[in-house]
A = this chain, B = another copy of it.
Amino acid sequence: MYEFTAPFQHPSGSPIRELFKYLGEPGMISFAGGYPASDLFDVEGLQQAEARAYRDANLCLQYGPTDGLPGLKRELVNLMARRGVACAPSEMLVTTGSQQGLDLLLRVLVNPGDVALTEQPAYPATLQALRLQQAKVVTLPVDAHGLDVDHLATLLGSGTLARPKLLYTVPTFANPTGATLARERRIALLKLAVQYRFVIVEDDPYGDLRFSGEAVPSILALTEEVQGSRDWVVHFASLSKIVAPGLRVGWTIAPAEIARRCVIAKQTVDLCSAPWTQAIAAEYLADGALERHLPRITAMYGRKCEALCNALHAQLGDVLQFHRPEGGMFVWARLTGSGADSSELLQRAIGNKILFVPGKAFFADNVDAASLRLSFAAPGMADIEEGVRRLKRAGSLPAAGA
């Protein structure tokens, strides 16, 4: 009746959000969410930041500049400096979470049919954003050290692929694999971007959540080592996983010419992100509260990750393979049984009051039905151990209705 645009003719919800309906069930334990742990929010620190921000009530209540409050941008420039990246305010815009950064970028950069490369498995909202912009998605394999950059070099060199417009990657503690792209692969990737003139879209929401191993500089930070590569990197970051998603504060760092167009797009899209929460974020960062509080989050996530991995190993080590991540929020696992399908396991798991995300949600093609994503961020320590016990029980029972 309404003749919707192509991406919305048959709208489908996110497969992860489909699981939300089970979350409210009494006694349900969830490894499914991508939510950070609520009990680790710095409730008091943020309240104090709010009180300081509201002293300038007009800043909180009036419209703000489309590219973000100058005071917040100043703090974010400082934060990026601590992460080894020098950037100018003209290269930065504040967005409603980093998710909006991707949407704006795709709208200024991707025409229908343009080739967009992504890791596979990948964050489903990214795949959806690419579909919305009608990009041609080409997936690239990953291993325990992230994107297979050699494979990409071969593919680009073969001449079989149209010049890609961009490559999207979560190189540090990827969603869903938890893998971190090795430093030498980052350098190799930057060289490919310069050679083949495509934009590396580096999504970095989890980089600060390292609880073991050695830090690897972001791809953006490594542009200093590859001549001309800074022109080919757009970097997204966010306070959602390290402070609180409810602020909806993300930011984009891009070559000024790209950033300027993203700001023009944002004028039309929502004028500005909420100035009130921007002002709170600025006060929170200016106070040094992030540096004080972050170690509490990473320490707890480290403990939770260890608990999950230990329990998985002890209870399900014979039927489940996984790598221990060094940070982030996710463990990516595979059922080893022949013909194993995590979606079938999920049906039994729901009956046992335990949720996870079947791996198929993260594939654009060539689905690996045996894979699954387990988040250790939100559940408490006791729930993690009980959750794995339930998972084991689900795995050893016949399917519901079978």
- Partner-B contacts on A (CB < 8 A): 1-6, 8, 11-14, 17, 35-36, 38, 41, 43, 46-47, 50, 54, 57-64, 66, 95-97, 99-100, 103, 107-111, 125, 128-129, 132, 165, 197, 199, 231, 240, 244-248, 255, 257-258, 260-261, 264-265, 267-277, 280
Q: Contact at A5–B108, with CB atoms within 8 Å?
A: yes
* A280–B276 alpha-carbon span in the complex (Å): 11
Question: With a CB–CB cut-off of 8 A, which chain B residues contact A276?
Answer: 246-247, 274, 276-277, 280
Whether A62 and B47, one on each chain, are in contact in the complex, defined by CB atoms closer than 8 angstroms, is no
Which residue in B109, B197, B244, B248 is a CB contact (below 8 Å) of A5? B109
Question: Can you pick out 8 interface pairs between chain A and chain B where the beta carbons lie within 8 Å of each other?
Answer: A1-B257, A3-B111, A4-B109, A46-B61, A96-B273, A100-B269, A248-B270, A276-B277
* Residues of chain B contacted by A110 (CB below 8 angstroms): 5
Q: Are B5 and A246 in contact (CB under 8 A)?
A: no
A46 contact set on B, CB distance < 8 A = 57, 61
> Given A2-B199, A245-B61, do A270 and B8 touch, yes or no (CB 8 Å)?
no
- Find out whether the CB atom of A129 lies under 8 angstroms from the CB atom of B99: no
Q: How far is the CB of A26 from chain B (nearest CB, A)?
A: 18
Instruction: Name the B residues within 8 Å of A108 (CB-CB).
Output: 4-5, 8
Given A11-B260, A61-B43, A125-B267, A107:B248 Cβ within 8 A: no
**What residues of B have a CB within 8 angstroms of the CB of A12 in the complex?**
264
